A and B are shown apart, each in its own frame.
Chain A
Amino acid sequence: MSTPTNIKPKVAFFDFACCEGCQIELTNYGDTDFLKLLQHIEIVEFREAMSEKTKQAIDIACIEGSFTREADRKRLESIRDRAKTVISYGQCAATAGINALKNHQDDYKTFVYGKDAQMPHLDSSFARPVSAVIKVDYQLFGCPMNKYEFLDILGHLIHGKEPVIPNYPVCVECKRNETVCRYLVGDHCLGMVARAGCGAPCPADGIPCEACRGFVDNPNQAALEKVLVENGGLSPERAKNRSRMFNANERGDAS
Chain B
Amino acid sequence: MTKKVNINIEHLTRVEGHGNIIVNINNGNIEKCQWQVPEAPRFFESMVRGRHYSEVARITSRICGICSIGHTLASVKASEDALGIKVTEQTYKLRQLLKHAENFDSNVLHVYILAAPDLLGAKSVFPLVQSHSDVVKRALALKRLSHEWGSLIGGRTTHPTTVVPGGFTKVPSESALRELKDKLVAAIPELDATVETLLSVADKIPAFERPTEYIALSNDHEYAIYDGQVQALLPDGNKKRYAVSEYLSITNEYMSEWSTAKYCKNQLTSYMVGALARVNNNYEHLCPEAKKVAKQFALTNLTTNPYMNTLAQLVELVNDAHMSIGLIDQLLAQGLVKEPIVQPSQFATGTGAVEVPRGILFHEYSYDSDGMCSAGNYVIPTNQNHANIQYDFEKLVPELLAQDKTEAEMELALEMLVRAYDPCISCSAHYLKVKFVK
Residue numbers of A with Cβ under 8 A of B are 15-25, 27-31, 34-35, 38, 43, 46-53, 68-69, 72, 97-99, 101-102, 105, 107-109, 111-113, 116, 119, 121-122, 124, 127, 143-144, 201-202, 205-207, 210, 235, 238, 241, 245
Contact = CB atoms under 8 A, between A and B. Distances in A.
Contacts of B47: 98, 101-102, 108
A40 to B, nearest CB: 14
Interface string B61-73: 0111110100000
A235 to B, nearest CB: 7
B346 interface: no
A50 B124 contact: yes
A143 B112 CA distance: 26
Nearest to B38: A121
B159 A50 contact: no
5 contacts: A17-B430, A21-B68, A105-B49, A143-B159, A207-B161
B213 to A, nearest CB: 25
B40 A17 contact: yes
B41 A19 contact: no
B140 A24 contact: no
Interface stretch (B150-158, B239-247, B296-304): B150-158
A27 B58 contact: no
Given A111-B46, A144-B159, A235-B370, A30 B147 contact: yes
Contact of B13 (A28, A31, A48, A68): A48
Interface in B132-180: 137, 140-141, 143-144, 147, 155-159, 161-162, 164, 169-170
Contacts of A143: 62, 159
A23 B41 contact: no
The 10 nearest A-B residue pairs measured at CB: A21-B65, A50-B124, A206-B169, A30-B144, A31-B140, A108-B46, A51-B123, A17-B40, A205-B161, A19-B65
Given A48-B15, A50-B124, A144-B65, A28 B43 contact: no
Given A34-B140, A50-B124, A143-B159, A27 B46 contact: no
Contacts of A27: 109, 113, 143
B257 A119 contact: yes
Contact of B40 (A30, A51, A69): A69
A205 B169 contact: yes
Nearest to B258: A121
Given A27-B109, A51-B124, A206-B169, A17 B17 contact: no
B13 A47 contact: yes
Given A47-B13, A50-B124, A111-B46, A201 B161 contact: yes
B329 interface: no
B125 A68 contact: no
A206 B158 contact: no
A143 B143 CA distance: 21
B11 interface: yes
Contacts of A31: 137, 140-141, 143-144
B55 interface: yes
Contact of A113 (B14, B113, B117, B255): B255
Contacts of B50: 241
Contacts of A69: 40
A51 B147 CA distance: 25
